[in-house]
Chains A and B, each alone.
Chain A
């Protein structure tokens, strides 16, 4: 019975200083939203690596991604045990208008690439149109929406890796089979790029950035990878084969310092608001010294007063936390649309919400600690004399 009473009293005490309560609630909500957003940024970065079927392997030059492999490797990879199909892609890296209009472009083998990526949904007519036009391009739905690309549009690109001014004609716009599919790709014909650079950059002709390998048995990924790599050992261009997921995690490892920093900052914000909240509770408890002494004189135990302080602190922090969690969803959506080319998916994970709740709880408990302890220490006679 007392527990319910404590909560009701805590609620009433909260309303006593509406301004202060409002400010504290706003502070906690802001902190919980930032905490959630920062965690979601980190999650989404890693979530990108979950994209793509586990049954695909990526084979690239062992020296580094900046080295290419001869296209002739395709045949040898196809012969490795457990391989169902092989295709290839090269990073095109062209500039559209200027460097601010960045999007990724891949030069792919038009006849085989889309077969290995069944999650790119393209109508048979558009697919055929792409196959028949050497200067054709297939564009992801989101990318097309962002720059207003329509079927038949010509997209000029200035080459960086492959010198020259290029132009491609949009022949197809694909949709993703699910919301985990990357809809920001720009695919062009590797054959066309290859023919062109035979004159301008013969050293890079007949070479590809990476092979994508479809295997029969996803559980055999390690064995197939080893088989492919060993067949090129001690050759001019050794290979490194890994699952598509590991390949993408490798990219993330490059910026893991930044991710670590973001994560640290997410916890610092909780610390900051802990200090603000502890301050609010210390002030509230100090103002009520005489009330607490009166309660004790009336026969309430120390524990009751402590619960009263904890109850108020928790009500405040959890209300702020709940507000923050509710606001995280619209904030995440706004953040995602503001940076739509940066993250493929940007979803608040259940674990994040749980951590937000835990942070609110921690804030509430830690803020109440000091006032709870000092309320125990205060003698009734001194407390009754205290002037507020």
Chain B
């Protein structure tokens, strides 16, 4: 069975002035469908860049990046946007909810890019919010929710389009322990019950321990895969 994500010789170099700054150096990585991978490493190691490349919000300098057999580096701006809408769910460190929209509307947002009717959208959103345990907070705006609740809304938004891949960038970085556990439990369920493939960047070992597989990066290079099957 071929892996969902196939990465070969992937490099990424930024320019700072005239100075090229290599961030990723020839990464080879495969992630199977249904896997739960944590990307770890000190800051500046390139873990966030790798995540951004996998999520299709950044473009590699060289190498191939196949996701579900699609070479996303070759997609145009608008094709890529459509691809993300259909295939990727995002969870950010600072939630990135729209402050003017309430919880319901924030979760509904990605569905506006589909052809679902209003009633169908409502149904989906209600299910997603129920799943993250916020069915009673639908009318609340982000500033009326705690950090943990906001992140759960963000997770509901990530799964609303039923994507195969969920990317999470330090999802617990801004949360207290209890809220962080709630969020991690949710991610466990997404992976275990719904079979979502999850790629998560974190520097918290406790957090990384929840993943099926831990990948370490240092100075743009992949270290030995510390596989740990649970």
Q: Which residues of A contact B (CB under 8 A)?
A: 1-2, 5, 9, 12-13, 15-16, 290-291, 294-302, 379-381, 384
Chain B residues with CB below 8 A from A15, complex form: 100
Other-chain contact of B98, A291, A302, A379, A384 (Cβ < 8 Å): A291
Cα–Cα distance between A379 and B99 once the two chains are bound (Å): 21
Other-chain contact of B113, A9, A12, A291, A300 (Cβ < 8 Å): A300
- 1/0 contact string of B189-228 vs chain A (CB within 8 Å): 0000000000000000000000000000000000000000
- Kindly list the 6 A-B residue pairs having the minimum CB-CB distance in the complex, ordered from nearest: A299-B85, A12-B100, A380-B57, A294-B96, A299-B84, A381-B58
Decide if B90 touches A297 in the complex (CB within 8 Å). Answer: yes
Decide if B101 touches A298 in the complex (CB within 8 Å). Answer: no
Cα–Cα distance between A159 and B199 once the two chains are bound (Å): 98
> Is the C-beta of B55 less than 8 angstroms from some C-beta in chain A?
yes
> Is the C-beta of B104 less than 8 angstroms from some C-beta in chain A?
no
Other-chain contact of B78, A294, A301, A380 (Cβ < 8 Å): A301
The A interface, classified by DSSP as helix, strand, loop or mixed, is: helix
Cα–Cα distance between A16 and B100 once the two chains are bound (Å): 7
- B85 CB to closest chain A CB (Å) equals 3
Decide if B100 touches A298 in the complex (CB within 8 Å). Answer: no
Chain B residues with CB below 8 A from A298, complex form: 84-85, 90, 109-110, 113, 157
Decide if B52 touches A299 in the complex (CB within 8 Å). Answer: no
Decide if A384 touches B100 in the complex (CB within 8 Å). Answer: no
Cα–Cα distance between A5 and B110 once the two chains are bound (Å): 12
Chain B residues with CB below 8 A from A300, complex form: 81, 85, 113
Cα–Cα distance between A117 and B21 once the two chains are bound (Å): 89
- A300 CB to closest chain B CB (Å) equals 7
Decide if A381 touches B110 in the complex (CB within 8 Å). Answer: no
- 1/0 contact string of B97-122 vs chain A (CB within 8 Å): 01111000000011011000000000
> Is the C-beta of B144 less than 8 angstroms from some C-beta in chain A?
no
Q: If A297-B90, A302-B77, A380-B57 touch, does A290 touch B96 (CB 8 Å cutoff)?
A: yes
Decide if B112 touches A5 in the complex (CB within 8 Å). Answer: yes
Cα–Cα distance between A299 and B85 once the two chains are bound (Å): 4
Q: If A298-B90, A298-B110, A299-B110 touch, does A291 touch B96 (CB 8 Å cutoff)?
A: yes
Chain B residues with CB below 8 A from A379, complex form: 58
Known contacts A380-B52, A380-B58, A381-B49; can you find 11 more A-B pairs with CB under 8 A? A9-B100, A16-B99, A294-B98, A297-B90, A298-B85, A298-B90, A298-B110, A300-B113, A301-B78, A301-B81, A379-B58
Cα–Cα distance between A296 and B52 once the two chains are bound (Å): 13
Cα–Cα distance between A214 and B228 once the two chains are bound (Å): 109
Determine which residue in A15, A298, A301, A379 has the highest number of CB atoms from chain B within 10 A of its CB, and name it.
Answer: A298
- A2 CB to closest chain B CB (Å) equals 6
> Is the C-beta of B82 less than 8 angstroms from some C-beta in chain A?
yes
> Is the C-beta of B36 less than 8 angstroms from some C-beta in chain A?
no
Residue of B whose beta carbon sits closest to that of A12? B100
Cα–Cα distance between A298 and B158 once the two chains are bound (Å): 9
Decide if B81 touches A384 in the complex (CB within 8 Å). Answer: no
Determine which residue in B55, B101, B109 has the highest number of CB atoms from chain A within 10 A of its CB, and name it.
Answer: B109
A-B contact pairs, 26 of them (CB 8 A): A1-B112, A2-B112, A9-B98, A9-B101, A12-B101, A16-B99, A290-B94, A290-B96, A291-B99, A294-B90, A294-B98, A298-B109, A299-B84, A299-B88, A299-B110, A300-B81, A300-B85, A301-B77, A301-B81, A302-B78, A302-B81, A380-B57, A380-B58, A381-B49, A381-B52, A384-B96
Chain B residues with CB below 8 A from A5, complex form: 112
Decide if A381 touches B100 in the complex (CB within 8 Å). Answer: no
> Is the C-beta of B86 less than 8 angstroms from some C-beta in chain A?
yes
Other-chain contact of A384, B82, B83, B92, B109 (Cβ < 8 Å): B92
Chain A residues with CB below 8 A from B86, complex form: 299
Residue of B whose beta carbon sits closest to that of A376? B77
Cα–Cα distance between A291 and B142 once the two chains are bound (Å): 13
Chain A residues with CB below 8 A from B52, complex form: 380-381
- B168 CB to closest chain A CB (Å) equals 13
Decide if B81 touches A299 in the complex (CB within 8 Å). Answer: yes
Cα–Cα distance between A342 and B94 once the two chains are bound (Å): 64
Cα–Cα distance between A379 and B15 once the two chains are bound (Å): 14
Cα–Cα distance between A1 and B100 once the two chains are bound (Å): 19
- 1/0 contact string of B46-58 vs chain A (CB within 8 Å): 0001001001011
Other-chain contact of B92, A2, A12, A294, A296 (Cβ < 8 Å): A294
- A182 CB to closest chain B CB (Å) equals 56
Determine which residue in A12, A299, A381 has the highest number of CB atoms from chain B within 10 A of its CB, and name it.
Answer: A299
Cα–Cα distance between A9 and B106 once the two chains are bound (Å): 11
- A33 CB to closest chain B CB (Å) equals 30
Cα–Cα distance between A297 and B90 once the two chains are bound (Å): 8
